[in-house]
Amino acid sequence: MHDLKKEENRAILVGIDNDQTNIENSMEELFELAKTAGIQVCANLTQKRERRHPGTYLGKGKLDELQELIEEFDPPPNILIFNDELAPAQFRNLSDKFDCNIIDRSILILDIFAARAASAEGKLQVELAQLQYRLSRLTGMGKMLSRLGGGIGTRGPGETKLETDRRHIRNRIGNLKAELGEIKKNRENMRKKRERQGAFVAALVGYTNAGKSSILNLLGETKEGEEVYVADKLFATLDTTLRRTFLPSGAEILLSDTVGFIEKLPHHLIQAFKATLEELAHADVLLFVLDASHPQRDAHRDVVLKTLEDLKLGEQKIITVFNKMDKDVELPLPHAAQDDAAIEMSAKTGEGKNYLLSAIEEAYNSGRERMTVLIPYADSKISSYIHENCEIVAQSHEEVGTLFELIADNEAKNRLEQYKAVLV
The structural domains of the chain, with segments of one domain joined by +, span 10-113, 118-183, 199-365, 369-419
Q: Do domains 10-113 and 199-365 have the same CATH topology?
A: yes
- On average, the pLDDT of the chain sits at 83
The mean per-residue pLDDT over the stretch 108-118 comes to: 84
Give the fold, CATH level 3, of 199-365.
Rossmann fold (3.40.50)
Q: How many CB atoms lie within 10 A of CB 159?
A: 13
Contact partners, residue 226, CB within 8 Å, separation at least 6: none
Contact partners, residue 193, CB within 8 Å, separation at least 6: none
pLDDT (tens digit, 9 = 90+) per residue, 338-386? 567 899 999 999 999 999 999 999 998 887 888 999 999 999 999 999 9
Residue 326: the pLDDT is: 95
Query: What is the side-by-side strand order in the sheet with 79-82?
Result: 40-48, 10-17, 79-82, 101-104
The mean per-residue pLDDT over the stretch 263-282 comes to: 78
Residue 93: the pLDDT is: 93
Residue 125: the pLDDT is: 87
Task: Say which residue, 271 or 251, is predicted with more confidence.
Answer: 251
The mean per-residue pLDDT over the stretch 188-196 comes to: 73
User: What is the crossing angle of helices 105-116 and 23-36, to 10°?
Assistant: 40
Q: Would the pLDDT of 288 be above 60?
A: yes
Contact partners, residue 310, CB within 8 Å, separation at least 6: 270
Task: Say which residue, 97 or 191, is predicted with more confidence.
Answer: 97
Among the ranges given (91-100, 146-155, 323-332, 395-404), the one the predictor scored with the smallest mean pLDDT: 146-155
The mean per-residue pLDDT over the stretch 406-414 comes to: 85
Cα–Cα–Cα angle for 193, 194, 198, rounded to 5 degrees: 115
Give the whole-number percent of the chain exceeding pLDDT 70: 84
Buried b (16+ CB within 10 A) or exposed e, 33-58: bbebbebebbebbbbeeeebbeebbb
For residue 254, list its beta bridge partners.
Answer: 201, 244
Among the ranges given (58-67, 201-210, 224-233, 259-268), the one the predictor scored with the smallest mean pLDDT: 224-233
Q: How many CB atoms lie within 10 A of CB 149?
A: 17
| 82 within 8 A of 31, measured Cβ to Cβ | no
Residue 337: the pLDDT is: 56
Residue 360: the pLDDT is: 94
Q: Would the pLDDT of 257 be above 70?
A: yes
Residue 404: the pLDDT is: 95
The mean per-residue pLDDT over the stretch 9-15 comes to: 95
CA atoms of 304 and 82, how far apart (whole Å): 23
Q: Would the pLDDT of 7 be above 60?
A: no
**pTM score:** 0.76
The domain covering 10-113 belongs, at the CATH homologous superfamily level, to GTPase HflX, N-terminal domain (3.40.50.11060)
Residue 162: the pLDDT is: 60
Residue 144: the pLDDT is: 46
CA atoms of 399 and 369, how far apart (whole Å): 26
Give the whole-number percent of the chain exceeding pLDDT 90: 45
Buried b (16+ CB within 10 A) or exposed e, 230-268: beeebbbbbbbbebebebeeebebbbbbbbbbbbbbbeb
Residue 153: the pLDDT is: 28
HEC string for the chain: CCCCCCCCCEEEEEEEECCCCCHHHHHHHHHHHHHHCCCEEEEEEEEECCCCECCCECCHHHHHHHHHHHHCCCCCCCEEEECCCCCHHHHHHHHHHCCCEEEEHHHHHHHHHHHHCCCHHHHHHHHHHHHHHHHCCHHHHHHHCCCCCCCCCCCCCCCCHHHHHHHHHHHHHHHHHHHHHHHHHHHHHHHHHHHHCCCCEEEEEEECCCCHHHHHHHHCECCCCCCCCCCCCCCCCCCCEEEEEECCCCCEEEEEECCCECCCCCHHHHHHCHHHHHHHHHCCEEEEEEECCCCCHHHHHHHHHHHHHHCCCCCCCEEEEEECCCCCCCCCCCCCCCCCEEEECCCCCCCCHHHHHHHHHHHHHCCCEEEEEEEECCCHHHHHHHHHHCEEEEEEECCCEEEEEEEECHHHHHHHHHHECCCC
Instruction: Give the model's confidence band at 164: pLDDT under 50 very low, under 70 low, under 90 confident, else very high.
Output: low
pLDDT (tens digit, 9 = 90+) per residue, 57-90? 999 999 999 999 999 999 999 999 999 999 999 9
